[in-house]
Amino acid sequence: MTAFIVGIALFALVLAIGIEIAVVRNRKKPAKVHIHRHARRAPLLEDRMRPVLREPVTQYGDIFTSYTVWRHGQQTRMELFAGDPWVQLNEFTRSIVVRHIWRALEKLAKGAVVIVDQPPQEWSAAVDKTFDDQGIDPWPADGSAPKVKSNPDAPVFIKDREF
């Protein structure tokens, strides 16, 4: 009878160990907690962008009410807040202005640069490559004189003719 009780106890012990091993193997590992850094404002970049914004403002008036520059990892994001004069510009002119600002910010910041304005228009490297400015570049990236595409059908005046 003691052998029977010892056998049952031994069987219960083996069964408990087997259940514990199965539970440990099937236990899910806790999910990794990823720490996301929040975007941080970049006041130094904002200060360096102030002269860049003066050129379009000089030409088109007070088109921007304010702007902010944010850094998040390797991306720099500039948000432009505009007033009524900005909305009155046509889409092409707004694109020319945003491209000018994007080029300047890209030179200052490392990594990807995105500019967002209202009405919604995002500017990035992919957009810049495909943008057709039709030969008009009021603020070239290299600081040279503005490029204007010549029209072969336009009249040529003596003072404009090269000899």
Task: Give 100-119 pLDDT, tens digit per residue.
Answer: 888 888 888 877 777 777 66
Q: Indicate the pTM of the whole model.
A: 0.59
> Is the pLDDT score of 57 beyond 50?
yes
The tally of CA atoms less than 13 A away on the side-chain side of residue 93 is: 11
| Residue 159, helix vs strand vs coil | helix
Q: State the average pLDDT over residues 46-74.
A: 85
**Sequence letter at residue 11:** F
> Is the backbone of residue 62 left (phi > 0), alpha (psi -120 to 50) or beta?
beta
pLDDT band at residue 133, thresholds of 50, 70 and 90?
confident
Q: Are 85 and 58 spatial neighbours (Cβ–Cβ below 8 Å)?
A: no
- What domains sit in the chain, N to C, each tagged with a CATH number? 40-130 (3.30.300)
User: Residue by residue, what is the 3-state secondary structure of 23-80?
Assistant: HHHHCCCCCCCCCCCCCEECHHHHHHHHHHHHHHHHHHCCCEEEEEEEEECCEEEEEE
Q: For residue range 26-48, list pLDDT tens digits in order.
A: 777 766 776 666 778 888 888 88
